[in-house]
Amino acid sequence: MSFKHKDLWFWDSWYVQDGDIWHGYFLQAPKSLIDPDARHLNATQRHAVSRDLTNWTDMGTTFEPQRNGAAWDDSTTWTGSVVKGDDGLWHLFYTGTQKSEQSLYQRIGHATSKDLHNWTRVGDGLALDLTGPNADCYEKDHAIGHWHDRAMRDPWVTRDPDGSGWLMYFTARVPGVPEPNAGGAVGFATSPDLVTWTLQPPVFHGGFGQLEVPQVFQVGAHWYCLFCTGSYHWSDQYRRDNPETPVTGTHYLIADHPRGPWRIAPGPFLDGAEPCRRYAARIVDGPQGLVILGFADSGKATFGGYVMDPEPVSIGPDGLLHVETLAQAAE
C-alpha cells in the first residue's frame, strides 16, 4: 500500500499529525518528463492523509512555485516541514529557488494554512536567507567547480524545549574547506514567533559534502538529527574513520541537547545501500511506534519514485537507532 501514482514520481516527504490523522507532503513531478533527474526543476508539492502511515488518501497538489511573475520562489518549491503555531495556524516552511538564478541559490520560505491543504504565503513568502551577522559562517556563493549549488534548503522547524520560541535546521555548507566533501553542514536559525527568524552559526559541519533533509527529534534523553547523503559525498576523513564501504541513504547525528554538540552516530549507516534502496527518510512516531518512511530510489536507471511502506525503528540501550525490515519485525 505504498504511496504511488501511475503518472507521477514522488520523492522527499514530511509529515505532521492532527488528531488521529497524519498529513503527508510529497515532492512530485510528472513521469512524462522521462528522465527522473528532470524532476527537480519541475517539482510541486502533493498532500495525502492517513490514519496508519500505510494507507493513504490522495488530496492532490497543495503548493507550488509563484506563477504570477518573477519571484524569489518562481522556479521550485522543494522540501520542508509543517508545524502548528501558537496562533492556531499551520505553518509550512519550504525551500524556494528562482529562475533568474538558474535555481542555484536556495532560500527558505513560509506559508500558513487553516486546513493543512490551502496555503497562503506570509508576505512575499521569504522567511530566511544567508544574511546578517552570522552569514559568514556559511558558504554564501555558488562556486563553479567546487559545489553544485548555494545550499540552504530542507528546513525542519521544531519548538525550542528551553523556552517559548522555535528552532530551525536546514541543509547548508561552511566556507573555506578545501575538500568539497568535508564542507556539509546543518544550518541553524531561531525565532520567537515563527515569523521573525535570526540566522545562527551551524550546529554541525563535516563528514559529508551535504547532509540533506534534516529532521530533529527527541526520544528519551537523546536528540537525533536524521539526514541523508550519497556514497560519493563521504569525506576522506569519514571514510578513514568508518571502515564500512560507502553507501547512499540515511544516517543521523546524536546529541544531549538540540543545540548540540552534535556528533555522527557511530557504526554503520542507519539505512543505506548501494544502489540506494530508500532515500530522504523520516522517522515518525506512528500508531505502531517509531517507523521510518522514505522514497524508493535505486538510481536513475531503475528509479522508483514512490514512498515506501513504513518499517519499524528501535532504539538500543546505548541510544542508537536501528531499522528493522518488515520481515524481521514479523518474526
Cell of 67: 506563477
| pLDDT given at position 298 | 86
Query: What are the residues whose beta carbons fall under 8 Å from the beta carbon of 321, sequence distance 6 or more?
Result: 224, 252, 265, 270, 283, 313, 314, 315
Please give the C-alpha separations between residue 29 and each of 7, 37, 329, in angstroms, as whole numbers: 9, 10, 33
| pLDDT given at position 324 | 85
pTM of the entire structure?
0.96
| pLDDT given at position 330 | 42
| pLDDT given at position 326 | 54
Cell of 13: 516527504
Cell of 181: 566533501
Which segments in the chain show pLDDT lower than 50? 327-331
Sequence letter at residue 201 = P
pLDDT in tens, 117-156: 999 999 999 999 999 999 999 999 887 778 999 999 999 9
What element of type H or E holds 330?
A: helix 326-330
Cell of 60: 492532490
Instruction: Give yes or no for a contact between 209 and 184, defined as CB atoms under 8 angstroms apart.
Output: yes
Cell of 140: 554564501
- Smallest CA-to-CA distance from 185 within 128, 138, 243, 233 is with 138
100: three-class secondary structure by DSSP: helix
pLDDT in tens, 254-289: 999 999 999 999 999 999 999 999 999 999 999 999
For 58, half-sphere exposure in the C-beta direction (CA atoms, 13 angstrom radius) is 15
The full length of the chain comes to 331
